[in-house]
A and B are shown apart, each in its own frame.
Chain A
Amino acid sequence: MTDLAVDVRNVTHHYDSFTALDGVSLTVPTGSYTVFLGPSGSGKTTLLSVIGGFLVPQSGEVLINGQDMTDVAPAKRPTTTVFQDYALFPHMTIGANVGFGLRMRGIGAKERSDRAHRMLELVGLGGAEDKKPHELSGGQRQRVALARALAVEPSVLLLDEPLGALDLKLRRQMQAELKAIQREVGTSFIHVTHDQEEAMAIGDTVVVMSHGRIEDMGTPERVYLQPATLFTAGFMGQSSFLKGRVLEKKGSVFDVETPCGPLRLSAPDKRFEAGEAVVLSIRPEHFVVDGAGDDILPLGSATVEDLTFAGAHHLAVLKHAANDAFRPVAQMPQSGQAQVGSTVTLGVRRDDVVVLKDER
């Protein structure tokens, strides 16, 4: 045995001239909840199909529980998939739907109905066995699809944008339930979504994808607070970007020339050379508005151009006084003096600035 549920090694796949996966490698530890996050066309669903066996990649390997499964058909893999459109069998009862996988494994009717019943109770649909799929709501069908896929006790459950068709409130509720169910059954879940809030709320690990490559991979906190690439910083939550150039480097501390003036920054785990183009990424909540202190880097003054109320706080779009191109988005207090047109001073704590390579 191994403690890796899924081990994807250097997988590449092209559709005609479009590169869906470009040398993707990743591992999914047994019993974890992993989320593939990316915009459409990023390759996340293709990667899920490769793991599920619906697509044999043109190169690379897929190991499940340590065994090479690259060419193995979906039916013979210890994986099951919850499809985006649920793909329930419309002519069968809910009980028969959930018991289908067990029936294919030659399990008797009595045990089948017992296990289907337990699975439906797990997803909160006990007693719905005799209904047909068309009698259920979207959220309930989603649960049936989940129960059907879990009934055969797979090692890895694959969920292809499972909450995409639900309304926002139901989606948030199902996120919590999915996570709770995953903890209860202990199966490794791999979940594909383009919703970064969903990814952060639900995943033990978030895998950020773009153009067939993995941009970043880690805990939601790490990926949000220390994104590895510019794409991740922009896709996972909101960020303001300030371009700059490394002037001088003294150990892990270095000076960066920016349109807002020179800034002394530190990035202990990253290497930058003098003269290298970099981008400083700053989250809206990390801007210090009208504040000062020893560890706060001054960023100059800016005018409030637009102010949006976001419940717990305001979001302000600012226009930097010395640098027209820099339009930072900063979080401002829920109730405050700030108004459109007023001028504020901006700052940021040194540790909150993420320094990234300028890839453009």
Chain B
Amino acid sequence: MMRKAWRHLPSVLYALAIYGFIFLPVVVLVLFSFQDGRFPIPPLKGLSLRWYEAVWNDRRLMEALVNSIVVAVGSSLMAVLLGFLSAYGLARFKLPAKGLQRALLTAPLTVSYLIIGMGLLITFNAVGIPKSLAAAGIGHVVINMPLCFAIIYSQMGDHQANIERAARDLGAKEWQVITLVTAPMLWPALFASFFLSMTFSWDEFIISFLLTRFDVTLPVEIWSLLRSGLNPKTNAVGSVVFGISVVLVIVLELVVFRKGRRS
């Protein structure tokens, strides 16, 4: 028995090293957000919530947080709606160059956010759309819509097509088929793609940085905070961002997990 345990030791150490590498920085960040002192570096001088209080009282940070939530919710709703409609169109109708259209819809997944952000910046400049939260939101729709499309499209099978046919046979008009049958049947996929979009939009930096000016999202505000040096307040706001991401991922996990158990 002992010999067996020894044989597992290298893999256990390896796993510990990997998880340490991934999570230690986050743990350090969160830990020093509770620092009772002026610098987020060892030694830990004691635990305090004063930096969270400072975040709460920082008007700019709180505004940026609200902006981030608005952009995340708005762009995700739009991305899910557009993704759903394009998936419905591609799955249910005969369209010209179907394969090409599908490829074009998912292509932005492979393009870097920097390129998308720069492209949008140049385009918006040329068209005369000012830098704003709405512009950043459009950028987030561009990066999240392909994802929503891919998730929803993968869940649209022939069996559902037959169910939609039954609805039409019973007298449902096209909009009734979509709202009463198709969307409710795909509820888990819609929910999952919405929350995934939220998590991506929530901590997206480059596009928001390029496309916002006066009103900014939280990651952009944190970045400008970082330029004035390290400070436990940045740790505290970073922990808040991380905490909200974790909540989103858990909600997503619960939805997908529950769906998996049911079927």
Main secondary structure of the interface of B (DSSP, over half): helix
Interface string of B179-202 (1 = CB under 8 A from A): 001001101000000000000000
Chain A, interface residues (CB within 8 Å), range: 20 to 34
Partner of B166, one of A73, A83, A105: A83
Q: Is A262 an interface residue (CB 8 A)?
A: no
Task: Name B187's contact: one of A80, A81, A91 (CB within 8 Å).
Answer: A91
Across the interface, do B170 and A101 meet the contact criterion of CB distance under 8 Å?
yes
CB closest residue in chain B, given A160: B162
Expressed in whole angstroms, the Cα–Cα distance for A73 and B165 within the complex equals: 11
Q: Whose C-beta in chain A lies nearest to the C-beta of B262?
A: A134
Task: Specify which chain B residues have a CB less than 8 angstroms from the CB of A81 in the assembled complex.
Answer: 166, 169
B225 is an interface residue with CB less than 8 A from chain A: no
Q: Cβ of B184 and Cβ of A75 under 8 Å apart?
A: no
Assuming the contacts A89-B181, A91-B184, A91-B187, asked whether A105 and B162 have C-beta atoms less than 8 A apart, the reply is: no
Give the residue among B166, B173, B181 with the most A Cβ atoms within 10 A.
B166
B167 within 8 A of partner (CB): yes
- Of all chain B residues, the one with the shortest Cβ separation from A52 is B169
Identify B170's interface contact among A53, A90, A148, CB under 8 A: A148
Q: CA A20 – CA B172 in complex, angstroms?
A: 28
Q: Is the CB of A89 within 8 A of B167?
A: yes
Do A85 and B159 contact each other (CB < 8 Å), given the known contacts A74-B168, A74-B169, A101-B170? Answer: yes
Q: Which residues of A contact B171 (CB under 8 A)?
A: 75, 101, 104-105, 152
Tell me whether B168 and A87 are in contact (CB under 8 A): no
Q: Is the CB of A89 within 8 A of B165?
A: no
Distance in angstroms from B261 CB to nearest chain A CB is: 13
- What are the residues of chain B within 8 A of A52 when measuring CB–CB? 169
Q: Does any Cβ of B come within 8 Å of A54's Cβ?
A: yes
A88 CB within 8 Å of chain B: yes
Which residue of chain A lies nearest to B183 when distances are taken between CB atoms in the complex?
Answer: A91
Any chain B CB within 8 A of the CB of A100?
yes
Q: Which one of B163, B169, B184, B187 lies within 8 Å of A88 (CB-CB)?
A: B163
A272 to B170, CA, bound (A): 50
Q: Give A81's nearest chain B residue, CB to CB.
A: B169
Closest to A74 in B: B169
Q: In the complex, how many angstroms separate the beta carbon of B170 from the nearest chain A beta carbon? A: 4
Chain A residues closer than 8 Å to B169, beta-carbon distance: 52-54, 74-75, 79-81, 149
CA distance A81 to B169 in the complex (A): 7
> With A89-B181, A90-B185, A100-B167 in contact, is A75–B173 under 8 Å at CB?
yes
Binary flags per residue of A96-109, CB closer than 8 Å to B gives 1, else 0: 00001100110000
- With both chains docked as a complex, state the minimum distance between the C-beta of B259 and any C-beta of chain A, in angstroms: 12
A52 vs B169: C-alpha distance in the bound complex, in angstroms? 8
Q: Are A87 and B170 in contact (CB under 8 A)?
A: no
Question: B176 interface residue, CB < 8 Å from A?
Answer: yes
A–B Cβ pairs within 8 angstroms, 22 of them: A54-B169, A74-B168, A80-B170, A81-B166, A83-B166, A85-B159, A87-B166, A89-B163, A89-B181, A89-B185, A90-B185, A91-B185, A100-B167, A100-B170, A101-B171, A104-B170, A104-B173, A148-B166, A148-B170, A149-B169, A149-B170, A152-B170
Q: Please name 4 further chain A to chain B contacts, defined as beta carbons within 8 Å, in addition to the given A90-B185, A149-B169, sorted by A numbering.
A: A54-B165, A54-B169, A83-B162, A91-B184
Q: Which 6 A-B pairs have the closest CB atoms?
A: A101-B170, A104-B171, A87-B166, A91-B184, A74-B169, A87-B163
